[in-house]
Amino acid sequence: MLLLAGVLMLVLAALAPRVADASSTRVSLVEQIGDYRTETWRWQKLMGKPRTPTNYSERRVPSSTYRTWVRDLWRKRALVAEERASTPPHRSQWLCIHLHERHPAQGWATQTGNGFFGGLQMDISFQRTYGPELLRRKGTANRWTAIEQMWVAERAYQSGRGFHPWPNTARSCGLI
């Protein structure tokens, strides 16, 4: 009897790490899925695209194989969204405007104290209108990435303003 109890304790001790590992793997996969989903949605929001829908099934389905599949699916979606975001529709035009607007030593982080910020020299009103979530989360445009600045400018362009917020540089670039 004593021998049987000893064997049972050894078996339970050997299984305990596996149960803990399975639990931490589940949490890790669910967190990774959440991270990839958030990244996907961030890029989609920046581009003005609707969010990819989800039903959060990874939280309910116990299969780690399924969770791994969902993680890989969201990873792929995040990569595709990032790739699409990296080429705004008027990228070459924004780069031309940037060439004329930016401070040579500061680039996309231009902040010259003239009330305009970033590589496309956006004022606060412009940022508040076309990039309110970035302004709230990151501060003024000189703290945004080049892609974020171009997409905010693209929102203004698509709203009907075209390249007119940059009249002199847009003329220099042959855009108006």
| Contact status, residue 70 vs residue 78, Cβ threshold 8 Å | no
- Tens of pLDDT, residue by residue over 42-70, are 999 999 999 999 999 999 999 999 999 99
Compute the distance between CA of residue 141 and CA of residue 135 in angstroms, rounded to an integer.
Answer: 7
- Regions in the chain scoring below 50 on pLDDT: 19-20
**In this predicted structure, what is the pLDDT of residue 27?**
78
**In this predicted structure, what is the pLDDT of residue 31?**
96
Q: How does DSSP assign 56-76, residue by residue? A: -GGGT---HHHHHHHHHHHHH
Compute the distance between CA of residue 91 and CA of residue 151 in angstroms, rounded to an integer.
Answer: 9
Read off the tokens for 25.
Answer: 């793997």
pTM of the model: 0.79
- Judging by beta carbons within 10 Å of its beta carbon (0-12, 13-18, 19+), is residue 7 exposed, middle or buried? exposed
Output the CA angle 151-152-155, nearest 5 degrees: 85
Compute the distance between CA of residue 53 and CA of residue 120 in angstroms, rounded to an integer.
Answer: 33
Read off the tokens for 62.
Answer: 């116990």
